[in-house]
Copies of this chain bind each other. A is one copy, B any other.
């Protein structure tokens, strides 16, 4: 019986495109993820049109990036994260302030009133950890100090971006943001991260026997996958990205005795699911938006501001690690990925942006995601792992 055959064809094309793209990129000494995103551009509506956006593909992409951050969490020990806490906090805060300031200045200069300028600037803010995490994982660099700073900063960044979005949304309707309310929102998000990070870790250190209690021989895996999905959902309820919860779930699970088995078993899951995230990221690049000089110029300016501001914020925040390491952190914070797209969608829906501004912000987010991996890979390969904590 023919049954859902269209979607099967899409799955096949996305999956094969990812493999071919990754293979070509790796033979060119680029990270595989570059090839997967590029393959997405090629099979997506802009070029071949073999894969059309579909809700089911977006869900697979979401599962893919959730599993990716879960596996990155599995390779991250909470004690190592604590050691870089101060740098991560500084990178997270400066990585929000600088892009927000430069973004709103540019937007105001481009003719938006101040309230709208702040909204536009909010789309410059949130780093999307998926792209960077994949590059770090591919290059085996997750144990480096810079990587831990980036991951910690991405969590802080997401909390601040969420608060900022709350503030600028209130400003659009002329409301004064209620500070008491914002304080509660902040406290909830920070509380969520801290409670999961600290309590979860303590529970998990003793949970190893309990993970093997079920009859299912794969039960350590299925239990932590349930935890991953549960915390991914829970973090959205605190206004955070799903990947933050998934990362926390992985970090918590890495405290169990079964960590190595789990890391091993997660590999096939990543092999199946993450291609959907990266290929669909590429498929969303609308090359048609860039077919005139005006649009290209505006996109160039907006992208330059986005990159420079985040790079600067990250670099300044991480300077205590040394210039080279600070540069790596700065570059690692550049990708906006799908988070910028979400803010842009909200702006479009609220009537704050024109469709053109929306298209520009989406294109900027995607370009930052596409250009980061090769630069980051180059920097990591050229700079020896001198600053790494002995392990």
Contact = CB atoms under 8 A, between A and B. Distances in A.
Nearest to A246: B8
Given A225-B15, A226-B12, A267-B218, A59 B7 contact: yes
Interface in A15-46: 15-16, 19, 22-23, 26-27, 32
A126 B3 CA distance: 14
A96 to B, nearest CB: 14
Interface in A216-272: 216, 218-219, 221-223, 225-226, 229-230, 232-233, 236-237, 239-242, 265-269, 271-272
Nearest to A244: B1
Most chain B CB atoms below 10 A, which of A55, A215, A272 = A272
A235 to B, nearest CB: 9
Interface majority SS (helix, strand, loop, mixed), chain A = helix
28 contacts: A1-B126, A1-B162, A1-B241, A2-B236, A3-B62, A3-B242, A4-B59, A5-B236, A5-B237, A7-B62, A9-B233, A11-B63, A12-B226, A15-B229, A16-B226, A19-B219, A23-B214, A23-B215, A23-B216, A26-B216, A27-B215, A32-B216, A55-B55, A60-B60, A216-B271, A221-B268, A222-B271, A268-B268
Interface of A: 1-5, 7-9, 11-12, 15-16, 19, 22-23, 26-27, 32, 55-56, 58-60, 62-63, 66, 126, 158, 161-162, 165, 214-216, 218-219, 221-223, 225-226, 229-230, 232-233, 236-237, 239-242, 265-269, 271-272, 338-339, 342-343
